Structure 1
Amino acid sequence: MVNVIISGCSGKMGHVVAQEIAARNDAKTAAGIDLRPCACDFPVFSSPSEVTVPANVVIDFSNPSVLQPLLSFVKQKKLPIVLCTTGYDDKQIAALKEASREIPVFYSRNMSLGINLLIELCKKASQVLGSAFDVEVIEQHHNQKIDAPSGTALMIADAISETRSSETHYVYDRHSQRKKRESSEIGIHSIRGGTIVGEHEVLFAGHHETITISHSAQSKEVFAAGAVNAAVFLAGEPAGLYDMSDLLK
């Protein structure tokens, strides 16, 4: 049995993660961390430093500002951590990579198995099609999402960029420039509205033909299930940096 601490337990994703854990027989929620009150059947602490309950792993669906105290806590307790929060800056990403030298760190900007399969398909498509095809990434999310573009859109673009033999650059908005599209561009477009859980579409546009690879998340449960799967997996692993590709092996 893997005992889990949920960071951000009072948030929407925190509640879904708790429900996912409750439905399983290989994991249990030991505690939560959140500044906001939570009507939970497990103890909730307002900061990582206040946690007194023993556990095997931490799942974080909170806010980038929580990363540093979380990393200090898990390094002190020698706990694995699954980081599902998006919006980290370069300094924070460097900090989590540094922490992975001491503890197991699972970091993915999207915990959906389907999205990570889409990324592998896009990498294959990019290798086959090459620079003769223009690439555009379109992502859609609900109107409460703060960061844009989504971390997943950047994951997709990064994966495609890594397959290209020539240098690429990202273009997020074209309304301010009047020029033809360059072959080195990867366009990234964000749509925010309603209650869209998550839609990602990748266009490979060539001469007289277009290939589309897309993924639609219809419930937040897909991300919660991925996070819990990662936590169960990570609980028995040595120090290092892990991502969804490790679960796809």
Structure 2
Amino acid sequence: MIRIIMNGCNGKMGQVISQIVRDDGETEIVAGIDIVDCRDNGYPVFTDITKCDVEADVIIDFSSAKAVDTLLDYCEEKKIPAVVCTTGLSAEQTARIGELSGKIPVLRSANMSLGVNVLLKLLQDAAKVLAPAGFDMEIVEKHHKHKVDAPSGTALVMADSLNEALGNEYTYTYDRSQVRQERDPREIGISAVRGGNIVGEHEVIFAGVDEVIEFKHTAYSKAIFGNGAVQAAKFLAGKPAGFYNMSDVIASQC
């Protein structure tokens, strides 16, 4: 049984993961960390991570960027592997995670969905064939009206994945309204839609002459990210120090 500490346990994703673990059979949450202790989760909850003295095999972090520094300090001190799912981290925090991976195993991904991470590999394979053949590449992402960042982190990761497959020679275009000129063949367009309660939808379009190929991922609930985080925790527990991502998790299941 893999013992998990859930950082951000009383947030939306913390509660989703708590339920997933209850039904899992291979993992258990032995403690939670959250500044708000407002629920009976069936495990002890600490409002201060430095006070947590419960033994665990891995931490899953779905908290906030301002809580990550303390989390990293705790993981370094306790030598406990960390699955860092929190987004919006600063360059300094990202660099710290890289440094910490030299001491403990750390897994970080912009999107924890197994489906999205499989799609990233498919996009690279497609780009290597289609872009040299003259296909234009566009990304359209859709999210709920409360999402404040645009484009989404996942859309940017998709663009980076395409660009990496093509030697990082492409530029990104986010807004064509002020540029009245023909599309640059070496650009990747990224468009954001915000409305309603759309959980998340990402579409990658390869547009050629007389044919269009589309790759699409649709998230219907936050559970897909929770499932990915739990799979990542299972993968990371017991691993040697190093930096890992969801592609490593997927490779381990092939």
Mark yes or no: TM-score above 0.5: yes
AA aligned to 2:43 is: F
User: Would you say the 8 A contact 1:13–1:224 is kept in 2?
Assistant: yes
- Paired position in structure 2 for 1:54: 55
What is the CA-CA distance between 1:143 and the residue it aligns to?
Answer: 2.1
- Paired position in structure 2 for 1:149: 151
What is the CA-CA distance between 1:53 and the residue it aligns to?
Answer: 1.6
- Paired position in structure 1 for 2:32: 32
- Paired position in structure 2 for 1:133: 135
What is the CA-CA distance between 1:24 and the residue it aligns to?
Answer: 1.2
AA aligned to 1:57 is: V
Is 2:114 the counterpart of 1:109?
Answer: no
- Paired position in structure 2 for 1:96: 97
Larger mean CA deviation between 95-104 and 163-172 belongs to 163-172
Query: Partners in 1 of 2:67 and 2:51 — Cα distance?
Result: 14
Query: Partners in 2 of 1:208 and 1:175 — Cα distance?
Result: 25
What is the CA-CA distance between 1:166 and the residue it aligns to?
Answer: 5.8
Query: Partners in 2 of 1:187 and 1:57 — Cα distance?
Result: 38
- Paired position in structure 2 for 1:206: 208
What is the CA-CA distance between 1:228 and the residue it aligns to?
Answer: 0.5
Gaps of 5+ in 2: none
Q: Scaled by the length of structure 2, what TM-score is found? A: 0.93
**Could you say what secondary structure the match of 1:101 adopts?**
coil
Q: CA offsets, 1:99-132, max 9 Å, x none? A: 1111100111111111111111110110011241
Query: Partners in 1 of 2:167 and 2:241 — Cα distance?
Result: 32
**Could you say what secondary structure the match of 1:16 adopts?**
helix
Q: Scaled by the length of structure 1, what TM-score is found? A: 0.95
Q: CA offsets, 1:145-193, max 9 Å, x none? A: 2322211111111110001136111122222322222122111111222
- Paired position in structure 2 for 1:220: 222
What is the CA-CA distance between 1:19 and the residue it aligns to?
Answer: 0.4
Query: Partners in 1 of 2:115 and 2:129 — Cα distance?
Result: 21
Runs of 4+ with >3 A deviation: none
**Could you say what secondary structure the match of 2:102 adopts?**
coil
User: Would you say the 8 A contact 1:38–1:44 is kept in 2?
Assistant: no
Q: CA offsets, 1:49-85, max 9 Å, x none? A: 2212221111011112222111111010000000112
- Paired position in structure 2 for 1:42: 43
Larger mean CA deviation between 128-137 and 75-84 belongs to 128-137
Query: Partners in 1 of 2:81 and 2:38 — Cα distance?
Result: 24
